[in-house]
């Protein structure tokens, strides 16, 4: 059996960067990430080129990028002065977004990811104050220490966990949610949402075998109820399908698959509603 394209969760960062580079090259791109191709490298290109059904992943990354960018601008207008980007991967928002110079942006990830970014972006100048922290977020004591230190010098904190929570177990997310809720000055938290139908769909797709080393693990019985139990409520929910409709960027189904989806939605009760609520990005706030 061939080796999977994704060896561990960190490899997904190269895939995401490659998707952002592809979007940037489009004449009608929804954002410009001039550094994405450099960070993705040949590794990211190889993953995307050989991943079955990559058009779905690419479309999702584009929609989520736009949604999260909008969330960030909204909370900055409400006085957020610190962004804590947990599992930052190869994100380049401090370079590509017009951010206030006084904003403190803190990226946290594994040492190997931080070292790669430090090397690849050494000559680039961010638009805000950027700090990188080498930390395995599974180390709870070290994580709590970092949260307390950041809170000691912040006014209002936004926590960003783009593409992180789905790969954690329910107990791991519960622990993280509790730590963030107990951290003074954390006012907002951006989290990925996938419906149970979306998780089942993902498991059945051809690319699942390539993702077996980085499976989605967060699957609570009641997603919103879970976060409510840990002190978090949804300030805003933005579904990917709705965002795509607003931006006039429908999912690029191949012709035959598009026809099959149209037939399914026409003859399966609730299918259209299920598709519209498949996935979202949620801006949480303490409840």
Cβ neighbours around 36 below 10 Å, total:
24
Report the C-alpha dihedral over residues 233, 234, 235, 237, rounded to 10 degrees.
Answer: 180
Cα(99)–Cα(77) distance, rounded to whole angstroms?
11
Domain-embedded: residue 6: no
Position 2 in a domain:
no
pLDDT of residue 129: 98
Domain holding 186, by residue range, is: 11-286
Find the mean pLDDT for residues 162-176: 97
For the cut 60, the answer to whether the pLDDT of residue 176 exceeds it is yes
In a domain, 4, yes or no: no
Q: What is the pLDDT of residues 89-125, one digit of tens each?
A: 999 999 999 999 999 999 999 999 999 999 999 999 9
The most confident of 1-10, 141-150, 249-258, by mean pLDDT: 141-150
Residue 122 in tokens: 């050494």
Tens-place pLDDT, residues 215-237: 899 999 999 999 999 999 999 99
pTM of the predicted protein model: 0.92
Q: Is residue 245 part of a domain?
A: yes
pLDDT tier, 271 (very low <50, low <70, confident <90, very high otherwise): low
Of 78 and 255, the structure prediction assigns the larger pLDDT to: 78
Q: How many domains does the chain have?
A: 1
HSE toward the beta carbon, residue 238, CA cutoff 13 A: 20
- Of 42-46, 93-97, 196-200, least confident by mean pLDDT is 196-200
> Which of residues 14 and 211 earns the better pLDDT score?
14
What value does the mean pLDDT of the chain take?
Answer: 91
Give the CATH number, domain containing residue 31: 3.40.50.150
């Amino acid at each position: 059996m061939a080796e999977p394209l994704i060896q561990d969760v960190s490899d997904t960062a190269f895939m995401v960067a490659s998707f952002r580079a592809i979007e940037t090259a489009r004449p009608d791109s929804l954002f410009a990430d001039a550094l994405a191709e450099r960070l993705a490298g040949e590794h990211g290109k190889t993953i995307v080129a050989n991943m079955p059904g990559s058009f779905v992943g690419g479309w999702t990354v584009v929609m989520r990028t736009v949604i999260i960018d909008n969330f960030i601008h909204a909370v900055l207008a409400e006085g957020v002065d610190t962004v804590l980007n947990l599992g930052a991967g190869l994100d380049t928002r401090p370079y590509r977004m017009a951010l206030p110079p006084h904003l403190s942006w803190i990226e946290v990830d594994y040492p190997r990811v931080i070292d790669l970014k430090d090397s690849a972006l050494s000559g680039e100048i961010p638009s805000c104050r950027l700090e990188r922290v080498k930390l395995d977020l599974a180390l709870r004591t070290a994580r709590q220490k970092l949260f307390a230190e950041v809170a000691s010098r912040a006014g209002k904190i936004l926590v960003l966990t783009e593409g992180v929570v789905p790969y954690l177990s329910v107990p791991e997310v519960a622990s993280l949610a509790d730590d963030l809720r107990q951290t003074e000055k954390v006012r907002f938290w951006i989290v990925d949402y996938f419906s149970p139908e979306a998780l089942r769909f993902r498991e059945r797709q051809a690319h699942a075998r390539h993702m077996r080393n980085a499976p989605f693990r967060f699957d609570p019985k009641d997603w919103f109820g879970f976060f409510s139990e840990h002190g978090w409520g949804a300030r805003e929910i933005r579904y990917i399908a709705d965002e795509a409709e607003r931006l006039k960027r429908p999912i690029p189904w191949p012709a035959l698959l598009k026809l099959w989806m149209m037939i399914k939605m026409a003859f399966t009760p609730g299918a259209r509603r299920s598709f519209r609520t498949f996935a979202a990005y949620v801006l949480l706030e303490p409840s």
